[in-house]
Chains A and B, each alone.
Chain A
Amino acid sequence: MLIRKPDDIKSSEITDKKRYLNRRRFIQAAGLGAAGIGSGLLLPAMFGNMDEAHAAKKLEGFTKGKFGTDEPQTPLKDITSYNNFYEFGTDKGDPKRHSGSLKTRPWTVEVEGEVNKPRTFDIEELLKMPLEERVYRLRCVEAWSMVIPWIGFELSHLIKAVEPTNNAKYIQFVTLFDPEQMPGQRRGILDWPYVEGLRMDEAMNPLTIMGVGLYGEVMPNQNGAPIRLVVPWKYGFKSAKSIVKIRFVEEEPPTAWNMAAPQEYGFYSNVNPTVNHPRWSQASERRIGDFFRRKTLMFNGYEEQVAHLYKGMDLKKLY
């Protein structure tokens, strides 16, 4: 397979310093004006700003991987306190607040369906796969984005190990279903368990990884511990978290958000600034930590690596 090196962040993508400073000044001035109005009444610090002791386990023996971007990485604090993981609640602070109850050991991932060697992997075995650090952009369908240094292994390694049959055209991923550990599942917001899927060639693409950590440490519970999918050219919800089952199938498998709102979320859900969404403009996004929106890139900037997968497809229809 031909693997081309991605060209990294273009200079045109970077907010120039003068604009950046201007907007800083703008926020501060606006804030000061507002403070003048409100300050007399409201000085007590009403917001607790807790930075708990961080005691995550370090991951050993990973290498610096391909396809990394050198854009500034989103701080760990933001990655672990602001995300969607509806199994723990629908507020973006809920995953951090409620994921303490998730038990990540023992943990197994069952692989079944159209494969010659169906088997169950113990998480410890999967952690022995060739781990790499991949610094990827993550684009949420809600028009915010981050840059995250994931640790993981290429999904293709796992696929090759189980030898898919010729009938295996798609792969389905199933998240843990256990309302005891995942309080958000006590309400029928989505049709639990969360399911996601990829076409075989998407799953085999070297960009697609199974994430087991970030920032050099074991995956935090709230980000999909102990093992999750990371597909950087698709909207975040495609990257299923806390996976317990991988199923090789012949037909396009059902996916959670597509079942919930088919007119909004398609099976492919590639990051695509030209396909409108009824709730959010997908033309631009706010990088967490930035003030200005930036233009969203086709396939989240991974066009070179993945555009060939969709040749001849009408991505406006197959969104």
Chain B
Amino acid sequence: MAWIKPFTWIKLLVFALSLIPAGRLVVGLFTGGLGANPVEFITHTTGTFALVFLMITLAVTPLRRLTGYGSLIRLRRMLGLFAFFYTVLHLSTFVVLDHFFDPAAILQDVFKRPYITAGSVGFLLMVPLAATSTAGMIRRLGGRRWQQLHRLVYFSAIAGVVHFLWLVKADLREPLIFAGVLAVLLSYRIAVWRNAPWAKKRAGRT
């Protein structure tokens, strides 16, 4: 299959790796490997990976600017869509497995529990980004407007981390790790806007 370009292989590899967490859940579901409370396990796993993929997606731009590997941009959409994929799984677990489509219970949770409110905001902000992720939509919106719209991802990520911070009972370690990573990634953007010399674009290879 020499006609497949080398980068396509990398993309396929990343795609396969990104599916592993979901695959583990499916395997666990059938082998009883999800522990005493499978619904909780699925909720936590999909939520964690939604955040992980959001962070990876947000790391693409700083990485390619700092390393000069411009082609990394070609992974960004897929990674972003995986963040959305795990978010949708996470939300579906909440709606279907946790509450079994009980609208009253769901609405109560969304409005009465601050961490669920934050999570809902994070999800809603992702929807227009996923919907406008196709090449056709980029063309129709125009690059500038598209880019402006997609800055919503910063707020979505903040809402996601706040969602995690607010839900833990006492042990803040894990959400604080995400908060730290997000702070670094957002600081990079601030540095770029303020024209910090170290954050300037290197001579790219693409």
Contact = CB atoms under 8 A, between A and B. Distances in A.
Contacts of A261: 169-170
B167 to A, nearest CB: 6
B29 A31 contact: yes
A278 B22 contact: no
Contacts, number: 101
A47 B20 contact: no
Contact of A35 (B30, B37, B39, B96): B30
Interface string B20-57: 10111111111111111101100000000000000000
21 contacts: A23-B100, A27-B29, A35-B30, A37-B22, A38-B22, A39-B23, A39-B26, A44-B27, A45-B31, A47-B27, A47-B28, A49-B31, A189-B171, A261-B169, A279-B113, A280-B113, A281-B109, A281-B112, A281-B113, A283-B105, A288-B36
A284 B105 contact: yes
Nearest to A280: B113
Given A35-B30, A82-B36, A281 B108 contact: yes
B20 A42 contact: yes
Given A42-B19, A190-B170, A47 B33 contact: yes
A86 interface: yes
Contacts of A260: 170
Contacts of A23: 100
B170 A86 contact: yes
Given A35-B26, A261-B170, 11 more contacts: A31-B26, A39-B26, A41-B16, A47-B24, A47-B27, A78-B36, A279-B115, A281-B105, A281-B108, A281-B112, A286-B37
A107 interface: no
Nearest to A82: B36
Instruction: Give the interface centre of A23, A47, A278, A288 by most chain B CB atoms within 10 Å.
Output: A47
Given A38-B22, A260-B170, A49 B36 contact: no
B167 A279 contact: yes
A29 to B, nearest CB: 12
Interface size class of A (residues with CB under 8 A): 35 or more
Interface in A139-174: 142, 144
B140 interface: no
A288 B99 contact: no
Contacts of B22: 34, 37-38
Contacts of B26: 31, 34-35, 38-39, 42
B77 to A, nearest CB: 20
A139 B98 CA distance: 17
Contacts of B169: 90, 142, 261, 279
Contact of B37 (A47, A144, A278): A144
Contacts of A310: none
Nearest to A260: B170
Interface in A289-306: 289, 291-293
Given A41-B23, A90-B170, A31 B35 contact: no
Interface in B48-68: none
Task: Give the 5 A-B residue pairs with the shortest CB-CB distance, closest first.
Answer: A47-B33, A42-B23, A82-B36, A78-B36, A90-B171
Interface of B: 16, 19-20, 22-37, 39-40, 96-100, 105, 108-109, 112-115, 167, 169-171
Candidate in B19, B31, B109, B169 with the most chain A CB atoms within 10 angstroms: B169
A278 B166 CA distance: 10
Nearest to B24: A46
A279 B97 CA distance: 18
B39 to A, nearest CB: 7
A292 B31 contact: no
Contacts of A113: none
Contacts of A258: none
A49 B37 CA distance: 15
A48 B35 CA distance: 11
**Most chain B beta carbons < 10 A, residue from A41, A283, A289, A291:** A41
A235 to B, nearest CB: 12
B93 to A, nearest CB: 10
B106 to A, nearest CB: 10
Contact of B36 (A37, A81, A281): A81
A266 interface: no
A43 interface: yes
A78 B38 CA distance: 11
